[in-house]
């Protein structure tokens, strides 16, 4: 939600008026006039949608898939505006798209995940958009790279565009996952710390790729203080020409929005504030103990490294590492701490232990962990 330092932009103004997450919904693709209008009417009836989305030019991974109807869909979106009063947004990927969409009076544009990856394409769009004053949403790049996402926002800012928002739609990874695109929540949070003035929206449809995941992903986004949601909806989802498995009817979307719990950023209840403060102070003490324990452990690592050096023994001792990786999560489970969390923590501790030992054995400083990868 908006903060005191928030600049006055299209999105922040709407957020301030609404004082609730912005809701963007519509079909993955505009397919026919009837489908677009049926979706828009269904959404209008929900009474809480802020922006109608539809893909007009569809970037598809392989040729031969439905690539959108193109400019033929623009008059249908004008009709949506005229009939429902909803502002409309489409994806633009080329200066030509921008030109056509501006002529058709499209209110808001978004840059898709496959375009954000390409700085040449983003720069061309920034140049085409300069001076138009059109609000632009920037989806994260398909690959888990915050710098590219940030770079796209910077290119638009340098072109003088101020009405910006970021959309988190998940990242492609090789790792098997229940998600279509891994959410890797650390990355949008990192973007938010770098661009606190840019509202952040979540696109649970492309993260989940499945209808049953929309609610839990959307809930998590709201709990992480996202400013809005973008969701795909279709009057007959099973027959959608693109992304059928992740689309729901406007009526089902209404139920999902109803089931979401909208929580506050804080509370002015004195009991809550006192108790939260007390628990945070106890956590400070616990954290100090954790850091002290890490200091003790790393001092032992250093001592062991000196002995290895004296005896010309290699750093990596796979059997010892296997034992640690097996026992620590077991200890965690007995203490009701999540085993996977402790296993991940020990991967980091092991990396740091190897780094420290490398320093001792070779007598040269070695860089620490600089970057948390997509697994975290």
* Contacts with Mn ion, residue ranges (CB under 5 A): 28, 243
For ligand PEP, the closer CB: 14 or 168: 168
For ligand PEP, the closer CB: 302 or 374: 374
Subset of 97-136 contacting ligand PEP (CB under 6 A):
112-114
- Residue 169 interacts with ligand PEP (CB under 6 A)? yes
192 binds, among Mn ion, ligand PEP, none (CB under 5 to 8 A by kind): none
Phi, psi of 168, deg, nearest 5: -90, 115
- End-to-end CA distance of the chain: give it in Å, rounded: 25
| DSSP structure string for 271-315 | HHHHHHHHHHHHHHHHHHHHHHHHHHHHHHHHHHHHHHHHTT--S
For Mn ion, the closer CB: 50 or 243: 243
For ligand PEP, the closer CB: 97 or 169: 169
Q: How far is the CB of 133 from ligand PEP (least distance, A)?
A: 23
169 binds, among Mn ion, ligand PEP, none (CB under 5 to 8 A by kind): ligand PEP
Q: Is 74 helix (H, G, I), strand (E, B) or coil?
A: helix
Q: Is 27 helix (H, G, I), strand (E, B) or coil?
A: coil
Q: How far is the CB of 376 from ligand PEP (least distance, A)?
A: 22
Q: Are 29 and 66 in contact (CB under 8 A)?
A: yes
Count of residues of this chain found to bind ligand PEP when the rule CB under 6 A is applied? 9
152 binds, among Mn ion, ligand PEP, none (CB under 5 to 8 A by kind): none
187 binds, among ligand PEP, Mn ion, none (CB under 5 to 8 A by kind): none
For ligand PEP, the closer CB: 169 or 192: 169
- Kindly list the distances between the CA atom of residue 27 and the CA atoms of 31, 88, 176, 296, 361, in Å, as whole numbers in the listed order: 9, 12, 27, 56, 60
Residue 230 pairs with which residues in a beta bridge?
24
For ligand PEP, the closer CB: 12 or 242: 242
Report CA 76 to chain centroid distance, whole Å.
30
Q: How far is the CB of 142 from Mn ion (least distance, A)?
A: 13
Subset of 185-224 contacting ligand PEP (CB under 6 A):
206
Token pair in block for residue 231: 């969701």
Q: How far is the CB of 111 from ligand PEP (least distance, A)?
A: 8
For ligand PEP, the closer CB: 76 or 346: 76
| DSSP structure string for 151-212 | HHHHHHHHTT---EEEEE--B--SS--SSSSB--THHHHHHHHH-TTS-EEE-HHHHH-SGG
For ligand PEP, the closer CB: 93 or 360: 93
Q: How far is the CB of 39 from Mn ion (least distance, A)?
A: 13
Phi, psi of 60, deg, nearest 5: -110, 145
H-helix segments, the chain: 10-18, 33-46, 74-84, 95-103, 113-116, 119-129, 146-158, 186-194, 204-208, 214-223, 250-259, 270-310, 318-334, 339-362
For ligand PEP, the closer CB: 181 or 353: 181
Q: How far is the CB of 343 from ligand PEP (least distance, A)?
A: 31
Q: Which residue, among 229, 181, 225, has the nearest Cα to 207 in the 3D structure?
A: 181
113 binds, among ligand PEP, Mn ion, none (CB under 5 to 8 A by kind): ligand PEP
14 binds, among Mn ion, ligand PEP, none (CB under 5 to 8 A by kind): none
Subset of 17-56 contacting ligand PEP (CB under 6 A):
28, 55
Q: How far apart are CA 183 and CA 211, in angstroms?
A: 16
139 binds, among ligand PEP, Mn ion, none (CB under 5 to 8 A by kind): ligand PEP
CA-based Rg of the chain, rounded to a whole angstrom? 25
- 214-223 vs 250-259: helix crossing angle, rounded to 10: 40
Residues in the site for ligand PEP, rule: CB under 6 A? 28, 55, 59, 112-114, 139, 169, 206
């Amino acid at each position: 939600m908006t903060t005191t330092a928030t600049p006055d932009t299209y999105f922040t103004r709407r957020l301030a008026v609404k004082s609730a997450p912005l809701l963007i919904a519509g079909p993955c693709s505009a397919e026919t006039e009837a489908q677009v209008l049926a979706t828009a009417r269904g959404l209008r009836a929900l009474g809480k949608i802020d922006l109608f989305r539809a893909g007009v030019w569809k970037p598809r991974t392989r040729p031969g898939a439905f690539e959108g109807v193109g400019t033929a869909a623009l008059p249908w979106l004008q009709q949506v505006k005229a009939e429902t009063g909803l502002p409309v947004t489409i994806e633009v990927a080329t200066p030509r798209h921008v030109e056509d969409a501006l002529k058709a009076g499209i209110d808001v544009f978004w840059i898709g995940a496959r375009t954000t990856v390409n700085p040449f394409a983003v720069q061309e769009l920034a140049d085409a958009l300069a001076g138009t004053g059109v609000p632009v949403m920037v989806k994260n790049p398909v690959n888990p790279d915050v710098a590219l996402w940030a770079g796209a926002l910077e290119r638009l800012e340098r072109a003088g565009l101020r009405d910006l928002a970021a959309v988190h739609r998940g990242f492609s990874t090789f790792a098997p996952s229940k998600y279509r695109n891994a959410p890797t929540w650390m990355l949008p949070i990192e973007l938010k710390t770098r661009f606190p003035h840019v509202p952040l929206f979540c696109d649970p449809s492309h993260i989940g790729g499945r209808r049953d995941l929309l609610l839990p992903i959307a809930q998590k986004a709201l709990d992480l203080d996202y400013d809005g949601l973008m969701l795909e909806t279709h009057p007959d989802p099973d027959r959608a020409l693109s992304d059928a498995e992740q689309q729901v009817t406007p009526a089902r979307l209404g139920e999902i929005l109803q089931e979401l719990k909208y929580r506050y950023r804080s509370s002015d209840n004195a009991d809550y504030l006192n108790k939260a403060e007390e628990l945070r102070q106890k956590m400070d003490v616990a954290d100090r103990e954790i850091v002290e324990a890490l200091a003790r452990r790393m001092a032992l690592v250093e001592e062991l490294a000196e002995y290895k050096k004296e005896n010309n023994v290699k750093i990596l001792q796979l059997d010892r590492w296997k034992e640690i990786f097996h026992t620590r999560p077991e200890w965690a489970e007995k203490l009701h701490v999540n085993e996977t969390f402790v296993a991940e923590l020990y991967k980091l501790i092991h990396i740091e232990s190897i780094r420290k030992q490398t320093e001792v054995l070779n007598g040269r400083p070695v860089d620490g962990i600089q970057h948390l990868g997509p697994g975290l």
